Amino acid sequence: MTAADRQRQLLHQGGTPGTWGSLGLWPDGAEAATDYAAACRHLALAVGRAAQLQPGVRVLSLACGAGDELRLWADHFGATRVVGVEIDPAAAGLAQAGCAGQPAIQVLCRSALALDGHPALAGPFDAVVCVDAAYHLAPRAALLAAVWPRLRPGGRLACCDLTVRAGAAPLLRPAARLCGLPPDDLLPLAAQVRRLQALGFADVQAQVLDNPVLGGFARFVRRQAAAQRLWPWHHGWRAVATTAALIPPCRAAGLGYALLSATRPAGSDGG
């Protein structure tokens, strides 16, 4: 069993079985009653709503993990075409197996930064979503520019990303590197909004989720470690424990989390 497989297992242990993998969205006042799978589903639902998913839409899902979100787009929102992209072969294999028998869903094992060269990725899509992985994808401006021609005019982008308080990026660079995150794309929320607008996107919306996501995940990890008697050196738990331990000081230094969404305007050209 790989470390990633073990990590998924430990995060779900004692709760609803599944293969979700995100920081999750932990409702204030209901955290203790929310298990990991439910929190991950809450976050994906928030992204789906921000993308204005509805029956009949065509969805491109970037860094889709083990496929739980792909089934959500099809089963909950009624998407009739779902293409998922996942770079990790093991996760992509789980997604392909879990979505077998659902002809509306197609899973491709490739980077979300390599959207050229496959007919299934040409679009047009009614929505492009990235639930909890955009902060791993750099350069972000190139990713967002690649999304533009795949959206139909009037289509919507929705993704979650880390944010920083103005001037705080240098303080957070060491922690970003420790967690394997590209530090150069740590930007204030206002700068992220301006970046989308500069690419031509309209109706840019930003929902601040610092505490429900970052704070909620850190608190869950502490509860899970105590309940399941997990120590940082346990196979598959080290990265989780490290991330959770870094969240409070990083938040104090200016780290945040937001759900961004935007529309490619009707009548816009191919980019």
Please give, one letter per residue, the 3-state secondary structure of 50-72. HCCCCCCCEEEEECCCCCHHHHH
Does residue 271 have a pLDDT over 50? no
Q: Domain coordinates of the chain in residue numbers? A: 3-203+210-260
What value does the mean pLDDT take over residues 194-210? 96
pLDDT (mean) for 32-51:
93
Of the candidates 166, 130, 94, 135, the residue with the CA atom closest to the CA atom of residue 243: 135
What is the rounded distance in angstroms from the CA atom of residue 46 to the CA atom of residue 30? 17
Over 90: is that where the pLDDT of 63 sits?
Answer: yes
- Name the average pLDDT for the chain: 93
Q: Residues 3-203+210-260: name the CATH superfamily.
A: Vaccinia Virus protein VP39 (3.40.50.150)
Binning pLDDT at 50, 70 and 90, where does residue 33 land? low
> So what's the pLDDT on residue 115?
93
Q: Is 128 helix (H, G, I), strand (E, B) or coil?
A: strand
More confident residue, 183 or 225: 225
Mean pLDDT of 71-75: 97
Tokens 């303080």 found at: 171
pLDDT of residue 29: 65
DSSP 265: P
Q: What is the structure's pLDDT at 256?
A: 97
Sheet holding 125-130, edge to edge: 105-109, 81-86, 58-62, 125-130, 151-164, 255-263, 202-208
Residue 33 CA to residue 223 CA, distance in Å, equals 11
Confidence of residue 233 (pLDDT cuts 50, 70, 90): confident
Mean pLDDT across 112-125: 92
* Cα separation, 247 vs 141, whole angstroms: 25
